[in-house]
A and B are shown apart, each in its own frame.
Chain A
Amino acid sequence: MSALPETVVTGGGGFSSRRAAREVWAYRDTVLAFAERNVRVKYKQTLLGALWVVLQPLAFMVVFTVALGRLADVPSAGTTYEAFSLSAFVAWSFVQNAVTQGANSLVADAAFLRKVYFPREVPVLAAQLSAAVDFGVGLLVFFVLGPILGAEVAITWLLAPLLFVGLFVMATGASLLLAGLNVYYRDFRNALPFLMQLWLFASPVVYPATVIPEKWQPLYALVNPAAGWLDSMRRVLTVGQLPDPSLLVPSLVSTVVLAYAGLRLFRRLEPNFADVV
């Protein structure tokens, strides 16, 4: 009997990101189960099913191409505004879906939180994964539609998955931060759509990062960790350029800070989740 692994439950203990990672890894199958459920549920009883993954960025592209590209003549960084905005919206849709679902995941799955043990990061991570599936589909669509709309087919496309890892970590950090707070303060659920809207317009999605004066760009990418990733994603997808380090490096730094702070706050709030959710 002593061969059975021992589990110790205590009130708290210090924070260790390594221990958090180990616990989540042990429950990777649970993460996958939640993610699979999210994907299945999303397309149950929908007429268009998986088409929605494509329609969302396409609709955004059309709206902003007409409103900004044609009417306001916003610059599009060396490509057509159509390709410019589609590439950005494929990436932005991921951030929007991942953070929105991630932040609401604990409240949405309260039934489980009150009855079953798993590391509380599990539903948050699952939300990132199911959003990542949508991103994968969106990226494939871009590979087909992008060149038709004027994007350059380039070897730099291979960098997109790598940049996506950065975007994924950033979205996870933001989701952990918001999900933990959302359990205690439902204000965040109400504020979330507004926050995401604000974040969209603070990011180089409908306009190129070059509209920011050059000397302010590193600060801009440091304050907004999405900026570097979105700008780099667009460069590699539409014009065959490598990422601009003056944007990517600051965003990398703030992404690491955000992910660490998010996890740390989450772990601090976590012991009482089941009591208050």
Chain B
Amino acid sequence: MSVDAAVVFENVSKRYVRGDAQYTSLRGQLAGLVRHREPAERSRPALEDVSFRVEHGESLALVGPNGAGKTTALKLLAQISRPTAGSIRFRGRLAALIEVSSGLHPELSGRENIWLYGRILGMSRADIRRQFDAIVEFSELGDVLERPVKMYSSGMELRLGFSIASHLDPDIFIVDEALAVGDAGFQAKCVERMTALVREGRTLLFVSHNLQAVEALCERSLFLLGGRLEMEGPSREVIARYLEWTDEHRQRLLGESAAGARGPVRLTAATLHGLDGAERYEFEPGEGLEVRLRFESDGPVRGPHVNLGISDARAGLLVQCSMLHDGRAPEEMPASWECRCRIESLPLKPRLYDVFCDVYGERGHGVLSEWSRVAAFRVVGVMGGGPLAVSDVDTSGPVSVGYDWRLEAR
């Protein structure tokens, strides 16, 4: 490591003032003085004693669950917020590719906003003159440039904001998840732009829950947990450790949520298996899956209808296996029984999926066991190498089908 790094964090800590004190009034403050609240009690650490360095031209990702301090670390680096202790040094111009549309002024036209916003973000007039056409082209807003921004749709606003921010010319740039805006085509353009900047040798600090993107863009990663630096190393290893943690964490949550589900029929165990019967957590696209559910109740149950659902993070189910739909259910089951649902092939793309379950009574009347998340699994594998494969998140379709392109001149 050279002495001359692009970014150096040295024993950086940050404590935020507690939520209730954030939007304060003089009266509340005076009351606080009288009640002698301890200052230590009023703040929680968002980042604790974090040290790391980023070399010039390197791209580094910060991964970790929500509230781990990733965004806080970037905010401190961007000088938006100040550290409570420690110091941060960086060399050269720094800019954040952030969701900036909230700063656009609704009364001003797109053109005026580019000029003003660009300068507020730190571009010189000459920079903007040089980049103006590129910004307009990138935003795809050429036709409505003279209209006030208040007449834009929210998608257009986001695009304008991001276009301006992405045409800054920094030595170090910071990308937070907010990047995931706009339609899929625009997202692909954003990823393309990021990749280009990295290839040009800019230093990148990247925060994302999209681990595929992290792996594709960054050689090295930091795993933050509860404001502390849990692990630092090559992205592949750090991601593996992070996934291990999320899986453990998820199983813990599942245990709690399944135990908490109410109803006369209690789910006591939910496990996932391969078609060979071995218990599994990871599956490949197209592989088969068997869900095994153990139920208990105080006595025999008449006509229980079991329903299963599989979903990714978004609303709604991707797959539903329902006895209510099939129109057949067992006549009667004893006080303790197992239900197996065998899915021959799951055409799903790589990511995390949740399994939900509930049980309805005879002829579909009455809830015997409430709808709750009972298990989770991960589909692993690599989907192609195109620019969108990297940004394969919520907006891209989760279902994997076999297909083939045919192109011919006509």
Is the Cβ of A112 less than 8 Å from the Cβ of B116? no
Is the Cβ of A40 less than 8 Å from the Cβ of B112? yes
Is the Cβ of B25 less than 8 Å from the Cβ of A275? no
Q: In the complex where A9-B79, A41-B107, A115-B80 touch, is A185 in contact with B26 (Cβ < 8 A)?
A: yes
Interface residues of B in 1-58 (CB under 8 A from A): 4, 6, 16-17, 22-27, 29, 56
Contact with A along B108-123 (1 / 0, CB 8 A): 1000100110011110
For residue A45, CB closer than 8 A to chain B, the reply is yes
| Complex-state Cα separation, A170 to B342, whole angstroms | 78
Interface residues of B in 158-175 (CB under 8 A from A): 171
For residue B273, CB closer than 8 A to chain A, the reply is no
Is the Cβ of A187 less than 8 Å from the Cβ of B56? no
Q: In the complex where A11-B85, A40-B112, A276-B22 touch, is A112 in contact with B103 (Cβ < 8 A)?
A: yes
| Chain A residues positioned under 8 Å from B116 (CB to CB) | 33, 36-37, 40
Contact with B along A244-264 (1 / 0, CB 8 A): 000000000000000000000
Is the Cβ of B94 less than 8 Å from the Cβ of A7? yes
Interface footprint category on B: 35 or more
Is the Cβ of A115 less than 8 Å from the Cβ of B107? no
Chain A interface residue count, CB cutoff 8 Å, equals 40
| Chain A residues positioned under 8 Å from B86 (CB to CB) | 10-11
For residue B388, CB closer than 8 A to chain A, the reply is no
| Chain A residues positioned under 8 Å from B112 (CB to CB) | 40
Is the Cβ of B4 less than 8 Å from the Cβ of A2? yes
Of the candidate stretches B59-67, B70-78, B211-219, B365-373, the one touching chain A is: B70-78
| Chain B residues positioned under 8 Å from A41 (CB to CB) | 105, 107-108
| Nearest-Cβ distance from residue B81 to partner chain A, whole angstroms | 5
Q: In the complex where A4-B171, A9-B82, A41-B108 touch, is A115 in contact with B98 (Cβ < 8 A)?
A: yes
| Complex-state Cα separation, A272 to B116, whole angstroms | 26
B124 nearest in chain A by CB position:
A29
For residue A229, CB closer than 8 A to chain B, the reply is no
A112 nearest in chain B by CB position:
B103
For residue B193, CB closer than 8 A to chain A, the reply is no
Is the Cβ of A7 less than 8 Å from the Cβ of B122? no
Q: Pick the contact of A115 from B93, B96, B108 — CB < 8 Å?
A: B96
Is the Cβ of B83 less than 8 Å from the Cβ of A118? no
| Nearest-Cβ distance from residue A221 to partner chain B, whole angstroms | 29
| Complex-state Cα separation, A276 to B29, whole angstroms | 14
| Chain B residues positioned under 8 Å from A276 (CB to CB) | 17, 22-24
Is the Cβ of B88 less than 8 Å from the Cβ of A8? yes
A32 nearest in chain B by CB position:
B119
For residue B84, CB closer than 8 A to chain A, the reply is yes
Q: In the complex where A114-B80, A185-B26 touch, is A7 in contact with B89 (Cβ < 8 A)?
A: yes
For residue A207, CB closer than 8 A to chain B, the reply is no
Q: What residues of chain B have their CB less than 8 Å away from a CB belonging to chain A? A: 4, 6, 16-17, 22-27, 29, 56, 75-94, 96, 98, 100, 102-103, 105, 107-108, 112, 115-116, 119-122, 124-125, 148, 171
11 sampled A-B residue pairs with Cβ under 8 A: A5-B92, A8-B87, A9-B79, A11-B82, A37-B116, A45-B107, A116-B96, A117-B79, A184-B24, A274-B81, A275-B81
9 residue pairs, one from A and one from B, having the closest CB atoms = A33-B119, A4-B92, A117-B79, A271-B82, A9-B88, A4-B91, A44-B107, A111-B103, A111-B102
Q: What residues of chain A have their CB less than 8 Å away from a CB belonging to chain B? A: 1-2, 4-12, 29-30, 32-34, 36-37, 40-41, 44-45, 109, 111-118, 184-187, 271-272, 274-276
